[in-house]
Structure formats: C-alpha cells, structure tokens
C-alpha cells in the first residue's frame, strides 16, 4: 500500500523534498500539496506532475488524506496553519521544516496522538544528496523511529540531534550549500572574466570541488592538512591564500556564521 504524503506549502523546499522522494521511485508514494498562490501551485506541478494540488483553504482535507504531513510554510505562517489543521492530525506524522518552530510549540497545536518531527533539510535533498538534522517529539516507538530515520534518509544523510543544537545545525547544514556555492560563483565569474569559456570553467570547478570533498571523505586528512599540503611557500596557492588572509577572510567568515547563528536562535519559539 502506498504511503500518502502531503505538503503544507509548495515552495522550494517542498518541491525539493518531493523531488527527492520521486527520484527514489514513484511507486511508493501518493503525493499532494497545498499552495497559497497559483504560481507556487504551477511550480509544484511542474516539479511533481503526478501530485494532487489543494488550495490553502483546504489544508484540513489534505491532512485528513495524508499519512505523513510535511509542514513547509514560512515560519511566521506555521502556527496559524497548524491551528487550522490541528483537529485532524491525530495519528499522523508531522514533519516540520519551519525554522525556529520548537517541538513544544508544534505539540501545543496538534493532536496529542500525532507524532512530531523537527527537521532542517538543505537544498540538495532534491537529488537525494542532502543533509537533514532532525529530532523527535515524545511518543515514538523504536520501530517508528527507525521508519522515520529511513524516510528522511531517502533525501540524503539523516542525522538525529538534540533540539538545542538546531539553530547551529541550521547555520551549518541548512544554509551550508549557499556558502560553498557563493565561493564557487565568485571563482566562476573570475574564470569567465579571465577568458575561460563558461562550460569549461564550470566543469573544471565542479570537478575540483567534488574531488576535494572525496579526498576528505576517503582519507584521514582534515581540511587544514589539505590546505597545508597544497601550499608551497612562494608558490601559486600561497599567493592566493596570502591575499585572503591579509583581507581577514577567516574572521569575516566567523562573523558571518555568528550572525547566522544569532538570527537562527532569535527565531526559536
């Protein structure tokens, strides 16, 4: 029997999660989503043509027709949506990806028999290569704990953590792809401006990035050691890294991460 999965909200993260599910095989799921605008509905339909769509005023019906519900609306909207559907969440699995929304807050707005998950997926879940820190509310039995871990594992690496660590996990994993891609985007612009065709530049940089990650995964080297092994005094790598250090990039990155962490903590409710 197929598992019925409903998405409250049809934005980018909902589309990424749905895409991750269907990439692993469409035969296991019946997917549906509620959307607030026609544009978001069309975007979800384009990403997941077989999904059934509901307008947001029929959120309760979507939840009633689902076994597992992903709460994918914007954080300020999440409590209101949960109040709207709370009476029909009994026995459902509620997976919230709304930043800052605590397990306790969710529990106060849904049926006592609902099983709650707080998760923070990042964008690569769309291709099954994401990272999903998660924590569970009360009442999960061992068998169900394994089932939810396996479900989240379909999107990539599912890592159970304690809830107080969620703001930090959001900064590092949830936002992490944007940091790496911002660095790559800068390198790509430089490559193109310096005369390397865009296609060759993109292929070269992506292969370099993936190779560096594989090196770390398959050896006992840590990132600082890779830097040291690549940096010959007076050499080309040394010239580049020296400029970055003179510009204080380490401290700038630390300040950026601290700012994100402060923002993530301020959203906790």
Query: How confident is the model over 174-218, as pLDDT tens digits?
Result: 999 999 999 999 999 999 999 999 999 999 999 999 999 999 999
Number of Cβ atoms within 10 Å of the Cβ of 228: 10
Sheet containing 93-96: order of strands:
52-55, 29-35, 3-8, 68-71, 93-96, 115-119, 130-136, 156-160
How far apart, in whole angstroms, are the C-alpha atoms of residue 122 and residue 138?
Answer: 25
The pLDDT of residue 29: 87
Residue with the larger pLDDT of the pair 37 and 107? 107
The reported pLDDT for the residue numbered 123 is 92
- Tell me which CATH code domain 176-266 carries: 1.10.3730.10
Residue 112 phi/psi, 5° resolution? -65, -25
Percent of the chain with pLDDT over 70: 99
pLDDT tens digits along 3-36: 999 999 999 999 999 988 887 666 688 999 999 8
Dihedral of alpha carbons 142, 134, 16, 88, sign = positive
Rounding to the nearest 10 degrees, give the CA dihedral for residues 47, 51, 57, 58.
-170
What pLDDT does residue 26 have?
62
What residue spans define the domains of the chain?
3-161, 176-266
What pLDDT shows up at residue 95? 98
What's the pLDDT score for residue 30?
92
Using CB atoms within 10 Å of the CB of residue 247, give its burial: 0 to 12 exposed, 13 to 18 middle, 19+ buried: exposed
Q: Check residue 24 and give its pLDDT.
A: 64
Tell the burial category of 177 from Cβ atoms under 10 Å away from its Cβ (0-12, 13-18, 19+): middle
Residue 233 has pLDDT above 70, yes or no: yes
Q: 0.85 cut: is pTM over it?
A: yes
Instruction: Name the helix (H) or strand (E) containing 71.
Output: strand 68-71
Q: Which residues pair with 133 in a beta bridge?
A: 159
Q: Which CATH number fits domain 3-161: 3.90.1110.10, 3.40.50.300, 1.10.468.10, 3.40.50.720?
A: 3.40.50.720
Q: How many CA atoms lie within 13 A of 198 on its CB side?
A: 2
């Amino acid at each position: 029997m197929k598992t019925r999965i409903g998405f409250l909200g049809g934005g980018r993260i909902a589309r990424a999660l749905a895409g991750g599910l269907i990439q692993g095989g469409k035969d296991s799921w019946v997917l549906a989503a509620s959307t607030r605008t026609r544009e978001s509905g069309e975007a979800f339909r384009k990403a997941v043509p077989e999904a059934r769509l509901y307008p947001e005023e029929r959120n309760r019906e979507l939840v009633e027709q689902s076994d597992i519900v992903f709460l994918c609306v914007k954080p300020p909207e999440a409590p209101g949506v949960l109040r709207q559907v709370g009476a029909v969440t009994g026995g459902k699995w509620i997976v919230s990806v709304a930043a800052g929304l605590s397990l306790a807050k969710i529990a106060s707005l849904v049926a006592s028999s609902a099983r709650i998950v707080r998760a923070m997926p990042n964008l690569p879940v769309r291709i099954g290569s994401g990272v999903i820190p998660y924590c569970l509310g009360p009442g999960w039995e061992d068998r169900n704990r394994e089932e939810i871990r396996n479900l989240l594992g379909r999107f990539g690496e599912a890592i159970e953590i304690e809830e107080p660590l969620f703001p930090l996990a959001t900064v590092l994993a949830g936002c992490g792809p944007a940091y790496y891609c911002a660095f790559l985007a800068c390198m790509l612009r430089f490559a193109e401006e310096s005369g390397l065709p865009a296609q060759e530049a993109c292929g070269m940089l992506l292969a370099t990035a993936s190779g560096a990650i594989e090196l770390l995964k398959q050896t006992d080297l840590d990132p600082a050691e890779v830097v040291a092994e690549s940096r010959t005094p007076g050499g080309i790598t040394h010239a580049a890294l020296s400029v970055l250090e003179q510009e204080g990039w380490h401290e700038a990155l630390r300040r950026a991460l601290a700012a994100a962490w402060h923002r993530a903590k301020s959203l906790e409710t």
